[in-house]
């Protein structure tokens, strides 16, 4: 019996050692690889003074390969990282260059992404795994800290390298996939991240929030709650006026949120005029 247990323990040690050594290779071939790519791109391109962030719709419009100008960095990702994830990327961007040069920040998201939660189906793979070290450096208020970095989850990734690269969420059991709404529920940690962004903007960094182009059936949406929420921030700029919103017919979308190839061609290279 003891010999059997020793073999099991040895297998676990060897498996975790392989995961620790082969981690960089594994993450290149997983669904969350774009998060790691965004972090890497921010580190390697220290010349850029403008950064474009966003959810998966923003990533369709402004993918990492979109900008040919080294002074403009596209580090769009997806909804699953939430506003806390966008905050982490921005902090990483500002840390890796002179603050005097890093003046322009543009965040392109579907309005429903403001309702992103950190207990959704893809949170573990897209948020906790890639941002493991960054999350621990955040000064998060106690009342939301366990929701942003659950102690058991963070400890598991700390001591078991396999948990850092497993492509499926086998630890949290999260299956939630909230609908995209025009007036989403703002979670406490999202509000905290937005206030952090507001404080950064107060230092002289221009932070703009842009609404990603929407399907035409969203044209009747008032965004009243969302606009009222935006009004509580003095230093952030929100481009949600009627003249700034773009609506497109159903034929240009895959499932009503993301664009198909025809829709992307229709939008063109720079639909929100950010690449200048």
pLDDT digits (tens, 9 = 90+) for 72-113: 999 999 999 999 999 999 999 999 887 666 689 999 999 999
Cβ neighbours of residue 272 under 8 Å, at least 6 residues apart? 61, 106, 108, 210, 239
Go through the domains of the chain in sequence order and give each one's CATH number.
2-267 (3.40.50)
pTM: predicted TM-score of the whole model, two decimal places: 0.89
> How distant, in Å, are the alpha carbons of 116, 212, 221, 257 from that of 244?
23, 10, 14, 18
3-state DSSP helix/strand/coil percent for the chain, to nearest 5? 50, 10, 40
> How distant, in Å, are the alpha carbons of 59, 92, 196 from that of 133?
24, 12, 19
pLDDT of residue 7: 46
Does the pLDDT of residue 59 top 70, yes or no? yes
Of 205, 209, 202, 206, nearest to 223 (Cα)?
A: 209
pLDDT digits (tens, 9 = 90+) for 222-265: 788 899 999 999 999 999 988 999 999 999 999 999 999 999 99
pLDDT of residue 221: 80
């Amino acid at each position: 019996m003891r010999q059997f247990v020793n073999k099991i323990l040895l297998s676990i040690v060897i498996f975790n050692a392989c995961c620790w050594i082969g981690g960089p290779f594994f993450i290149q071939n997983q669904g969350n690889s774009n998060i790691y790519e965004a972090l890497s791109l921010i580190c390697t391109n220290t010349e850029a003074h403008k950064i474009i962030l966003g959810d998966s719709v923003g990533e369709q419009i402004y993918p990492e390969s979109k900008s040919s100008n080294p002074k403009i960095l596209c580090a769009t990702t997806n909804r699953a990282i939430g506003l806390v994830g966008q905050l982490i990327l921005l902090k990483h961007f500002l840390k890796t260059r002179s603050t005097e040069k890093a003046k322009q920040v543009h965040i392109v998201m579907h309005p429903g992404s403001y309702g992103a939660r950190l207990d959704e189906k893809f949170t573990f793979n897209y948020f906790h795994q890639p941002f493991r070290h960054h999350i621990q450096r955040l000064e998060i208020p106690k009342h939301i800290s366990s929701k942003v970095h659950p102690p058991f989850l963070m400890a598991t990734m700390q001591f078991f390298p396999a948990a850092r690269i497993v492509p499926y969420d086998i630890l949290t059991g999260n299956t939630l996939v909230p609908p995209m709404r025009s007036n989403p529920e703002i979670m406490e940690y999202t509000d905290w991240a937005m206030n952090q962004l507001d404080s950064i903007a107060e230092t002289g960094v221009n932070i703009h929030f842009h609404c990603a182009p929407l399907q035409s059936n969203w044209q009747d949406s008032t965004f009243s709650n969302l606009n009222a929420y935006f009004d509580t921030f003095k230093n952030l700029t929100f481009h949600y006026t009627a003249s700034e919103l773009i609506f497109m017919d159903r034929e240009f979308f895959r499932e009503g949120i993301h664009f198909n190839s025809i829709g992307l061609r229709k939008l063109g290279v720079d639909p929100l005029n950010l690449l200048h």
